[in-house]
């Protein structure tokens, strides 16, 4: 039987469908059916189909149909009869079928077949109106049109329910309920449907909504109370006397407020301009910065943040800047007051860095604590105030030991491992009694001089890495400063009595000394310096409560502690304009993003414009130096709205401005969203789960960042885990790669905390990882590691000690599964396995997981390529001979030769095996097509795969698949098989890659 004649539909108007099954009255009028549990359609053998005629104006109407599983009627079908104004109908027998497929025509060759898809109709009463199917009788007299008396015009938001058909089931006060499922609602505008109904003398009605197919919204069993007049119902909120949500908005003619507190500061021949955000009734979209001065004339630049960095200016020249705010309608504010700055001398050696700008998934990461990796210059070593107490002095092991020179000297070691990206700890000037790790930032605009040397500045490190084809990922902190505050933003004054008890700690004040971490303060003779914090006399304008009064507490040495002697968020020492003023009470609560983590980590008010400006301006400096990405510390302790509104757009804007859109696309930002649990969602809290930060916001919030943070937190917590966005970006479709959809991407990727927590066993990590992958925007960008400078698997406080075989298995999984493999320095030789990772100054660093690694790197090493060492001598040669080193070298060689392992999607469909999967990457522009079958440790059978010749990259074994099935024997613990489909030409299988080793053989 010939089906619907598609060829005759070119000129038809689109149809709309609304369907209602007649179920009878509810037995209990006050409560409509519960959501998702309404009564099912009554079984029946007929369907009464109503068709809307007003938009067709045909002379006759025919119904051409086939019961589900049955045959089609003879073309053109059954004649339909008049039902009521603008409607025709026909009742047809369905036999045992529960529905029918249908089309409509005028009997003379003009068809409506739902744009070639046919209409899928159920049983009972069905309406088809302008392409929309519903289940209500359009000719029923009761309640379908406004009756005399009061009228309720109801607008219902379909944005959250996602229904294509909506019915209003209602009961005027004192009256009867409509017949289930009620009356069909009409499309009003995008995301809204509407219906006006008569209430008679009643002034309110009870109402519920449904999709005509058994799915209900009855306000969680309470019904909605809807008044007369125009009412909107959105997200379970009833708004009476509302504005028509579909009414055309009046033109926006109101300009934003004028930007305030514009300031400009010069650094050499660069100027940073900052200002406070403007406000607008519909929101500010950008700012226009006008620069006047110099010989190049006036410059106007658009920026999306409240920071503008102007570089490459003329030396010793006055520049003036004004700022205007622009809203979405193009309204422009008046110009701000001018801010001026005078440039200094042009640097003799301008920054030469430029990010490599390639896909970050191609680059395995080696993570180093710079101060503990390799000592290239002993002149910048510093022990700090805890040098002796910690036991480091006894080991001749100052906390600041490694440096950029040492790292530059051993870049070939890292490249020889096969790693092409280096994640380094924060580089900004730190200030703390024990700050070698870099997370106690003090001057965010200066590189810590304890890391730099002549000829080995931070810029030199970036340039040296790039020269070897290696990237530098800088660890950055937006959440907090040190307890000394942030130089250039705010630094506190604390109370310190320099008596016999405290003179050892509080230095004599030296106003002529500027702390830089390196220079020894000669007045006290100490390399550390606390004088800038110390004040015996109460300073003018003091806000700290009970200044200098003795407390009940003593130090570990037994010395009396005084009020305001040590920074505290609740003492009044830190102004609310720059810092939060509370302690965290609940690590999975809202206060985890708005309170202090520790008394040594002063928590920035990141929703404050001055703080945002300070941080954006600081990190622009390092972007300009050419770093390739940021690892974001404590990302979970800043609201997602702040990341999505301020910091992430500022990063993208700056990279684009300096290096172009492709570089910005591949500037890799990955956040530490710490979730130390073994489930998909962190204790059920979406706001505290890693994947949550990979998504944009789903709705608009208040213009004020602090209010927006609270609104977003409450909204997303209420939505819960089941209503979060999902993605197929990491998954193959069958055996095919598909273009990923990154339209919802926030700009932040994340560390895979769930795999990290489960890496006590590779199979456990694998199964937990893939269980979460649909909730990330794109899990192929997840940073995957076993342990780090913070924790081992299962929140262990020791470095991983699972044994060499388990390490090899973990690595084989990390280097072939989705995501970016990352290795904490020394793991390649099981460095400090089982040792406590961090014990602060209570034990020597040499006994911890952060011990000095340079002794294992002594000697010379030269890498001829990634994963290949051409020469080595001394201790580093012994290091390179370790079994896990040769293992990771070959894993890197294999991964680099197979594009599917680097940037491909994956699937486990049709595959048996504990850790087995297929991966593919295709790119039409480059002609790349890479397809690989992987199994780690255990055997596997792959079914439904493309026929062809497959070659194992580990052994060179070749298998010809002719029936879509390949069975692979278990290679053994830590070993794996990577069968690559030979597609010829540039996509030929690479064959055996590298030489057999202790595990890959």
Q: What is the DSSP letter of 847?
A: G
Both tokens of 951, joined, read 């070659």
**Of residues 654 and 252, more confidently modeled:** 654
With 80 as the cut, is the pLDDT of residue 524 above it? no
Where residue 183 falls among pLDDT bands split at 50, 70, 90? confident
Q: What is the dihedral angle through the alpha carbons of 326, 332, 338, 344, rounded to the nearest 10 degrees? A: 40
Instruction: Return the sign of the alpha-carbon dihedral for residues 756, 757, 761, 767.
Output: negative
| Helix axes of 648-659 and 609-624: crossing angle, nearest 10 degrees | 30
163 vs 21, more confident = 163
- When pLDDT is cut at 50, 70 and 90, the band that residue 783 belongs to is very high
The gap from C-alpha 262 to its chain's centroid, in whole angstroms, comes to: 31
User: In the predicted model, is pLDDT for residue 548 greater than 80?
Assistant: yes
CA dist., res. 731 & res. 904, Å (int)? 9
The helix/strand/coil state of 766 is helix
Alpha carbon distance 848, 846 (integer Å): 6
Mind listing the pLDDT tens digit for each residue in 859-896? 999 999 999 999 999 999 999 999 999 999 999 999 99
Q: Give the three-state DSSP class for 503.
A: coil
Instruction: Say if residue 580's pLDDT is above 90.
Output: yes
In DSSP notation, 125-158 reads: EEEEETEEEE-S-TT--TTSS--SSEEEEEEEE-
DSSP 213-269: SS-EE-TTTT-EEEESEEEEEETTEEEET---TTSPPPP--PPPPPPEEEEEEEETT
Confidence class for position 522, pLDDT limits 50, 70, 90: confident
Q: Among residues of the chain, what percentage have pLDDT more than 70?
A: 94
Token duo for residue 34: 């519960």
- The band of 651, judged by pLDDT with boundaries at 50, 70 and 90, is very high
Q: Is residue 504 scored above 90 in pLDDT?
A: no
- Going by C-alpha positions, the residue among 416, 278, 513, 331 that lies closest to residue 892 is 416
pLDDT, residue 953, reads 98
Where does the pLDDT of residue 520 fall: very low under 50, low under 70, confident under 90, or very high at 90 and above?
A: confident
270 DSSP β-pair partners: 267
Confidence grade of residue 61 (pLDDT, cut at 50, 70, 90): very high
Residue 19 has pLDDT above 60, yes or no: no
pLDDT of residue 793: 96
CB distance 826 to 856 below 8 Å: yes
Give the span between the Cα atoms of 898 and 911, in whole angstroms.
20
Of residues 808, 837, 827, 950, the one with CA closest to residue 879: 827
Question: Tokens standing for 677?
Answer: 């649990």
- What's the pLDDT at 310? 85
- The answer to whether the beta carbons of residues 852 and 378 sit under 8 Å apart is no
Query: In angstroms, rounded to a whole number, what is the distance separating the alpha carbons of residues 633 and 636?
Result: 9
If residue 804 lies in a helix (H) or strand (E), which one and from where to where? helix 804-814
Comparing 445 with 16, the larger pLDDT belongs to 445
- Measured at the CA of 207, the angle between CA 84 and CA 179, to 5 degrees, comes to 40
- Where residue 184 falls among pLDDT bands split at 50, 70, 90? confident
- pLDDT, residue 349, reads 54
Q: What is the pLDDT of residue 351?
A: 53
What is the DSSP secondary structure assignment for residue 723, as one 8-state letter?
G
The strand pairing partners of 318, in sequence order, are 342
- What's the pLDDT at 808? 98
With beta carbons less than 8 A apart as the criterion, state whether 163 and 157 touch. no
Q: Highest-confidence range of 170-179, 581-590, 637-646, by mean pLDDT?
A: 637-646
Q: What are the backbone angles phi and psi of residue 839, rounded to the nearest 5°?
A: -130, 20
- pLDDT, residue 141, reads 53
Overall residue count recorded for the chain in this entry? 1001
- pLDDT-based confidence at 737, cuts 50/70/90? very high
Cβ atoms within 10 Å, residue 966? 18
DSSP structure class, residue 167: E
Average pLDDT, the chain: 90
Q: Give CA–CA dist 952/898, Å, rounded.
A: 11
Rounded Cα distance between 343 and 465, Å, is 31
Residue 177 to residue 40: CA distance in whole angstroms: 18
CA distance linking residue 425 with residue 433, whole number of Å = 17
pLDDT digit string, tens, across residues 526-547: 777 888 888 888 988 899 999 9
Beta bridge partners of 965: 943
Per-residue model confidence (pLDDT) at position 840? 94
Which token pair is 90? 């026909």
If one compares 9 and 181, the residue with the highest pLDDT of the two is 181
**Least confidently predicted of 294-303, 772-781, 981-990:** 294-303
Does position 35 have pLDDT exceeding 70, yes or no?
no
The whole-number average pLDDT for the span 382-405 is 95
Decide if 418 contacts 814 (C-beta within 8 A): no
Cα separation, 406 vs 396, in Å, equals 18
Helix (H, G, I), strand (E, B) or coil at 912: strand
User: What is the token pair recorded at 807?
Assistant: 């390490």
pLDDT of residue 308: 85
Helices (H), 606-738: 609-624, 640-642, 648-659, 661-665, 705-719
Which range among 111-125, 149-163, 776-790 has the greatest average pLDDT?
776-790
Torsion sign (Cα): 902, 905, 911, 913: positive
Whether 924 shows a pLDDT value over 60: the answer reads yes
Contacts of residue 767, defined as CB under 8 A and 6 or more positions apart, other chains included, come to: none
pLDDT attached to residue 821: 98
Is the model more confident about 140 or about 113? 113
Name the helix (H) or strand (E) containing 463.
helix 458-467
Dihedral (CA of 143, 148, 149, 150) sign: positive
CA dist 443 and 867 (Å) reads 38
Model pLDDT, residue 32: 38
User: pTM for the complete prediction?
Assistant: 0.76
The mean pLDDT of 823-832, rounded to a whole number, is 98
Report how far residue 500's alpha carbon sits from residue 803's, in angstroms, rounded to the nearest whole number: 51
Confidence of residue 470 (pLDDT cuts 50, 70, 90): very high
> What pLDDT digit, counting tens, does each position of 946-966 carry?
999 999 999 999 999 999 999
**pLDDT at position 268, please?**
82
- Predicted local distance difference test score (pLDDT) of residue 138: 80
pLDDT average, residue stretch 396-422? 97
Nearest to 386 by CA among 528, 510, 500: 528
Which comes out higher in pLDDT, residue 332 or 508? Answer: 332
């Amino acid at each position: 039987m010939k089906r619907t004649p598609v060829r005759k539909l070119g000129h038809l108007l689109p149809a709309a469908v609304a369907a209602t099954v007649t179920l009878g009255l509810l037995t209990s009028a006050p409560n409509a059916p519960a959501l998702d549990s309404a009564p099912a359609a009554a079984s029946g053998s007929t369907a009464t189909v109503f068709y809307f005629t007003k938009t067709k104006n045909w002379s006759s109407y025919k119904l051409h149909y086939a019961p589900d599983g049955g045959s089609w009627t003879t073309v053109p079908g059954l004649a339909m009869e008049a039902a009521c104004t603008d409607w025709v109908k026909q009742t047809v027998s369905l036999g045992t079928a529960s529905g029918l497929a249908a089309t409509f025509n005028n009997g003379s060759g003009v068809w409506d077949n739902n744009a070639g898809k046919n209409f899928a109709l159920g049983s009972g009463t069905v309406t088809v109106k302008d392409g929309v199917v519903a289940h209500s009788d359009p000719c029923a007299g009761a309640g379908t049109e406004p009756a005399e008396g009061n009228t309720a015009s109801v607008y219902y938001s379909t944005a959250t329910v996602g229904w294509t058909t909506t019915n209003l089931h209602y009961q005027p006060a004192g009256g009867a309920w409509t017949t289930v499922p009620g009356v069909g609602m009409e499309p009003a505008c995008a995301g809204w449907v509407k219906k006006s109904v008569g209430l008679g003398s009643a002034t309110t009605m009870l109402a519920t909504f449904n999709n005509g197919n058994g799915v209900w919204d009855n306000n969680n069993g309470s019904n909605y109370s809807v008044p007369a007049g125009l009412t909107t119902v959105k997200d379970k909120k009833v708004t009476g006397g509302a504005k028509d949500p579909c009414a055309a908005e009046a033109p926006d003619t109101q300009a934003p407020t004028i930007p305030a507190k514009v300031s400009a500061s010069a650094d050499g021949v660069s100027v940073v301009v900052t200002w406070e955000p403007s406000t607008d009734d519909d929101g500010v979209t950008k700012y226009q910065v006008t620069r006047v001065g110099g010989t190049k004339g006036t410059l106007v630049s658009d920026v999306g943040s409240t920071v503008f960095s102007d570089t490459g200016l003329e030396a010793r020249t006055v520049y003036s800047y004004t700022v205007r705010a622009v809203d979405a309608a193009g309204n422009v504010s008046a110009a701000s007051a001018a801010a001026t700055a005078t440039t200094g001398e042009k640097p003799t050696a301008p920054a030469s860095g430029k990010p490599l700008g390639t896909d970050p998934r191609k680059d395995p990461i080696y993570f180093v604590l710079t101060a503990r990796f390799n000592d290239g210059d002993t002149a910048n070593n510093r022990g700090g105030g805890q040098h002796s107490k910690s036991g480091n002095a006894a080991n001749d092991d100052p906390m600041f030991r490694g440096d950029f020179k040492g790292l530059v000297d051993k870049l070939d070691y890292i490249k020889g491992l096969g790693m092409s990206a280096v994640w380094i700890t924060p580089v900004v000037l730190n200030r703390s009694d024990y700050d070698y790790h870099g997370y106690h930032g003090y001057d965010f605009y200066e590189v810590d001089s304890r890391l730099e040397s002549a000829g080995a500045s931070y810029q030199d490190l970036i340039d040296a890495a790039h020269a070897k084809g290696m990237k530098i990922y800088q660890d950055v902190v937006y959440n907090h400063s040190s307890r000394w505050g942030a130089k250039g933003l705010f630094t506190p004054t604390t109370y310190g009595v320099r008596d016999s008890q405290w003179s050892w700690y509080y230095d004599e004040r030296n106003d002529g000394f500027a702390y830089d971490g390196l220079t020894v303060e000669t007045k006290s003779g100490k390399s550390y310096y606390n004088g800038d914090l110390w004040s015996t006399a109460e300073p003018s304008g003091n806000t700290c409560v009970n200044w200098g009064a003795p407390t009940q507490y003593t130090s570990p040495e037994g010395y009396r502690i005084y009020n305001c002697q040590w920074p505290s968020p609740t003492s009044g020492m830190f102004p609310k304009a720059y810092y939060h003023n509370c302690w965290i009470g609940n690590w999975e609560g809202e206060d985890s993003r708005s309170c202090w983590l520790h008394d040594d980590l002063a928590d920035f008010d990141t929703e404050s414009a001055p703080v945002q400006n300070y941080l954006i301006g600081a990190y622009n400096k390092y972007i300009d130096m050419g770093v390739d990405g940021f690892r974001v510390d404590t990302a979970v302790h800043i609201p997602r709205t702040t990341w999505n509104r301020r910091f992430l757009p500022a990063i993208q804007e700056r990279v684009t401005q300096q290096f172009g859109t492709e570089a910005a696309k591949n500037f890799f930002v990955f956040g530490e969203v710490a979730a130390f649990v073994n489930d998909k969602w962190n204790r059920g809290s979406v706001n505290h789960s890693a994947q949550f930060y990979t998504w944009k916001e789903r709705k608009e919030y208040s213009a004020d960042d602090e209010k927006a943070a609270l609104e977003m937190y409450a909204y997303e917590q209420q939505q819960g885990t089941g209503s979060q966005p999902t993605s197929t970006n990491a998954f193959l479709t069958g055996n095919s790669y598909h273009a990923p959809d990154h339209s919802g991407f926030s700009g932040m990727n994340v560390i895979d905390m769930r795999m990290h927590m489960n890496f006590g066993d590779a199979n456990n990590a694998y199964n937990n990882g893939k269980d979460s992958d649909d909730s990330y925007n794109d899990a192929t960008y997840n940073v995957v590691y076993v342990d780090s400078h913070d924790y081992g698997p299962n929140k262990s406080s020791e470095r991983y000690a699972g044994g060499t075989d388990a390490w090899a298995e973990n690595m084989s999984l990390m280097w072939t599964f989705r995501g970016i493999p990352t290795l904490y320095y020394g793991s390649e030789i099981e460095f400090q396995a089982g040792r406590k990772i961090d014990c602060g100054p209570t034990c020597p660093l040499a006994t911890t997981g952060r011990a000095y690694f340079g002794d294992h790197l002594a000697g010379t090493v030269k890498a001829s390529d990634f994963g290949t060492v051409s020469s080595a001598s001394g201790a580093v040669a012994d290091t390179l001979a370790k079994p896990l080193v040769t293992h990771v070298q070959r894993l890197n060689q294999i991964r680099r030769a197979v594009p599917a392992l680097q940037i491909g999607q994956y699937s486990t469909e049709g595959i048996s095996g504990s850790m087995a999967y297929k991966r593919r990457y295709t790119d039409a522009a480059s002609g790349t097509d890479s397809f690989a079958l992987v199994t780690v440790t255990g055997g596997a059978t792959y079914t439904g795969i493309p026929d062809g010749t497959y070659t194992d990259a580990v052994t060179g074994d070749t298998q010809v698949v002719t029936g879509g099935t390949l069975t692979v024997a278990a290679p053994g613990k830590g070993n794996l098989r990577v069968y690559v489909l030979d597609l010829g030409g540039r996509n030929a299988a690479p064959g055996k890659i590298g030489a057999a080793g202790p595990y890959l053989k």
